[in-house]
Amino acid sequence: MFERYSRQMLFSGIQEEGQRLIRNKHVLVIGAGALGTGNAEILVRSGIGKLTIVDRDYVEWSNLQRQQLYTEDDAKNYIPKVVSAKERLEAINSEVTIEGHIADVTPEEMEQFVPGVDLIMDATDNFEIRMIINDASQKHDIPWIYGSIVASYGVSYTVLPGTTPCLHCLMGDIPLGGLTCDTGGVISPVVQLVVGHQTAEALKILTENWDSLRQELISFDVWANHHSSINVQQLKKDDCPSCGTDAMYPFLSAGDHTKTEVLCGRDTVQIRPPSKEERDLDVVAANLSELGSVNHNTFLLQFKTDTNRLVLFKDGRVLVHGTNDAAKAKSLYHRYLG
């Protein structure tokens, strides 16, 4: 059973007992971009028992430079990332149970995904979702590992509920904003380094080697040759609304989650309907066929106007490309899809 993991089991920190622990664990990966695909592949090759991947987007040409698991055919056919990732991960290790969900992570979805999960891996690109992950982690006592990349700069931090400061504790003290991959670019080496740090911490948690965990925020710039580790333990706040003595988990409140979101740097607005709805893409395509260019597959529909492109997912969520104006995006949404 464990022959394929023999080299991993020779490592003193894992051995056969650790491999059995890994085999019985369930990891939730939020995001299937550069960090998500890297994390997912290493975990699957390591023999994780179950892996759940959640992502809201589809494969684009600009993804292929750094997002492993995807091919040109995926970009040509606008295949949702979790669909391609699941197919290729199953080809890598058929022993692993893999679930893929095409979804935007809201508080409601997060509460559905976390039962039975032993670890959450952050591979997202915005702090709204990260704060939802952070609150769910604290509420359900599940460790999570934060990761972020932009340009040649990377950050990783492991959050252990009840032990380390949570991300909400750090937000007021450590500058985590700034450039995005779409505004500052990103190079592949920094992706691999952050993935390496995240998955090394993940293996420690999955094998229950708690004393080996770093418990520091690590950051580095591979181009400028800078590296630092920050002890943030003193930043833990007793009155933190996410992890303090009277925690309220504010980011799990549906009222704190927007229905319209400008996707930074992408000239795109995402619109979610007030409630989930199953859209019949064939019917929508027929309705739009005389108004512009329409094509669709099993998972999504694309509709092009003279200046914009609307992508409709089956759950009713829409990406309006070609604008960062939420009001204009809503107008287009209601005009064509409302």
Identify whether residues 157 and 47 lie together within a single domain: yes
CA dist 33 to 105, 123, 160, 207, Å?
14, 7, 24, 26
- pLDDT of res. 106: 86
Identify whether residues 285 and 310 lie together within a single domain: yes
Where do we find the tokens 């450039």?
A: 179
Identify whether residues 104 and 74 lie together within a single domain: yes
- pLDDT of res. 278: 83
Could you give the CA distance from residue 48 to residue 121 in angstroms, rounded to a whole number? 13
Identify whether residues 237 and 269 lie together within a single domain: no
Identify whether residues 234 and 294 lie together within a single domain: no
Identify whether residues 205 and 283 lie together within a single domain: no
* CB contact at 8 A, 227 and 217: no
**Under-70 pLDDT residues of the chain:** 1, 172-180, 182-183, 254-258, 264-265, 274-275, 338
Of 194, 221, 254, which residue constitutes the final position of a domain?
254
Identify whether residues 196 and 266 lie together within a single domain: no
Q: What is the DSSP letter of 164?
A: S
- H helix intervals, 172-214: 181-184, 188-206
Identify whether residues 231 and 314 lie together within a single domain: no
Identify whether residues 247 and 328 lie together within a single domain: no
Could you give the CA distance from residue 190 to residue 221 in angstroms, rounded to a whole number? 8
Could you give the CA distance from residue 312 to residue 292 in angstroms, rounded to a whole number? 14
- pLDDT of res. 229: 95
First-to-last C-alpha distance (Å) of the chain: 53
Handedness of CA 180, 182, 183, 184 (dihedral sign): positive
pTM to 2 decimal places: 0.84
Identify whether residues 114 and 162 lie together within a single domain: yes
List pLDDT tens digits, range 263-281.
Answer: 866 789 998 876 677 888 9
Of the candidates 198, 192, 150, 143, which has an alpha carbon nearest to the alpha carbon of residue 175? 150
- pLDDT of res. 211: 95
Of 231, 254, 277, which residue constitutes the final position of a domain?
254
> How many domains does the chain fold into?
2
Identify whether residues 53 and 108 lie together within a single domain: yes
Of 213, 232, 254, which residue constitutes the final position of a domain?
254
Which CATH number fits the domain that encloses residue 76? 3.40.50.720
Within a 10 A sphere around the Cβ of 12, how many other Cβ atoms? 6
List pLDDT tens digits, range 46-101.
Answer: 999 999 999 988 999 999 999 999 999 999 999 999 999 999 999 999 999 999 99
Structural domain harbouring 275 = 258-336
Identify whether residues 140 and 242 lie together within a single domain: yes
- pLDDT of res. 330: 83
